[in-house]
Amino acid sequence: MGRHRIRAGGTSVDVLELGAAVQRLHVRDGGGIRRNVVLGHATLDDYRASVAYFGSIIGRYANRIAGARLRLDGHEFPLAANERGSTLHGGPQGFHLRTWTLVDRADDRITLELVSPDGDGGFPGELTVQVTYAVSPGQVRIDLTAHTDAPTVVNLTNHTYVNLEGEDSLTVDRHLLQVAADRYLPTGVGGIPTGALTAVDGTPFDLREPALVGERRRAEHPQMLAAAGLDHTFVIPGSGLREHARLVAPRTGLALTIHSDQPGVQVYTGNHLRPHPLGTSGRPYGPAAGIALETQHFPDSPNHPHFPSTVLRPGETFASTTTWEFEALG
């Protein structure tokens, strides 16, 4: 089925050529038990039928572009719409549904490539994207690069849902979440950012100290109620590789710390996960079966000039690095 396993020590990752998706990720918890800690499906047909983007590389543009229209250098490009008149995760035929080409593989790493033609989903320019997954004991590193032959916009991320109690535990409500952000992006109709960068102080979005996922996603806050939980971008200050988020499962004694060089992280508590197709364990998922911590640029950046730019031009390289560091707690 176009699946490759990379490993180092007790850490292993199953990567699919479809969507360059992380299907399974096994690590040892605080009791020494190897657990699969990511959500996924058992078959390629299930991935094609799913709307959850489990573990996939998202492109050309992760998250949303309002009105499914891109304005760039005085030109307007109509994009393929797939969510309430907007473009979500690259449109209805995004990178998550493409078969990527194997470029290189070793025991502990793999590189896959996708060439997206000019006009793909309405986006200008031929875009060549590579992703490299590399594992070391307790760590997964994701490196993404992209080049274009014409001006375009790019926002790439990995859309893995994590559950540190195990893929089959079906809830992350007992997890403790911490996000290194003092601002977040409130959203309006259709999950489109309003353009504001709002302080988290005094709101359920203040995650600078660990907080229970279940309590925060059910908070009586207009933003949380509108999204049925967390589905927001947090603004990570600073530059370079730095901590974005930390997740802890006290029940299994396992922690995950995420570092990235991206300006934001989209926190999504799986508010609309569906019971079918079934998960890799054969069990149905539901809301909060996993949490996605998607390091990326801001949604709808092309329509908000004060957001960090996502424009990529010929001769330039889009590059991002994200690391997942797992720790067994004593």
Q: Which residues pair with 111 in a beta bridge?
A: 104, 132
**The dihedral sign for the CA sequence 284, 54, 91, 70:** positive
**What CA–CA distance (Å, rounded) separates 259 from 105?**
24
Omega of the bond leading into 313 within 30 degrees of 0 (cis): no
Burial environment of residue 306 by CB neighbours within 10 A (0 to 12, 13 to 18, 19 or more) = exposed
What digits encode the pLDDT tens for the residues 294-324? 999 999 999 999 999 999 999 999 999 999 9
Cβ of 188: how many Cβ atoms within 10 Å?
A: 13
Q: What is the pLDDT along the chain (330 residues), one digit of tens a residue?
A: 699 999 999 999 999 999 999 999 999 999 999 999 999 999 999 999 999 999 999 999 999 999 999 999 999 999 999 999 999 999 999 999 999 999 999 999 999 999 999 999 999 999 999 999 999 999 999 999 999 999 999 999 999 999 999 999 989 999 999 999 999 999 999 999 999 999 999 999 999 999 999 999 999 999 999 999 999 999 999 999 999 999 999 999 999 999 999 999 999 999 999 999 999 999 999 999 999 999 999 999 999 999 999 999 999 999 999 999 999 997
Q: What local confidence, expressed as pLDDT, does residue 1 receive?
A: 63
Q: Please report, as a single letter, which amino acid is at residue 105.
A: R
- Assigned token pair, 291: 């949490």
Q: Kindly give, in sequence order, each residue whose CB lies less than 8 Å from that of residue 18, ignoring residues fewer than 6 positions away.
A: 1, 2, 44, 47, 48, 97, 98, 99, 100
Helix (H) or strand (E) holding 268: strand 264-268
What CATH number does the domain located at 3-328 have?
2.70.98.10
Catalytic residue among 96, 175, 294, 297: 294
Q: What is the DSSP letter of 175?
A: -
Q: Where are the domains of the chain?
A: 3-328
Which residue blocks in the chain are alpha helix, DSSP H?
44-49, 213-217, 222-227
User: 159 catalytic, yes or no?
Assistant: yes
**What CA–CA distance (Å, rounded) separates 268 from 271?**
7
**What CA–CA distance (Å, rounded) separates 116 from 127?**
5
**The dihedral sign for the CA sequence 156, 160, 161, 165:** negative
**What CA–CA distance (Å, rounded) separates 61 from 293?**
16
- Report the chain's terminal Cα–Cα distance, integer Å: 38
Q: Of 149, 73, 144, which is closest to residue 316 (Cα–Cα)?
A: 149
Catalytic residue among 159, 175, 232, 259: 159
Q: Of 70, 116, 95, which is closest to residue 17 (Cα–Cα)?
A: 95
| Cut 0.75: pTM above it | yes
In this structure, the strands spanning 64-65 and 318-328 are unpaired
Is-contact 154 59, C-beta < 8 A? yes
Q: Kindly give, in sequence order, each residue whose CB lies less than 8 Å from that of residue 166, ignoring residues fewer than 6 positions away.
A: 35, 36, 37, 252
Q: Please report, as a single letter, which amino acid is at residue 194.
A: T
Q: Of 265, 231, 29, 82, which is closest to residue 158 (Cα–Cα)?
A: 265
Q: What local confidence, expressed as pLDDT, does residue 26 receive?
A: 98
Q: Of 235, 241, 240, which is closest to residue 264 (Cα–Cα)?
A: 235
Phi, psi of 134 (to 5 degrees): -130, 135
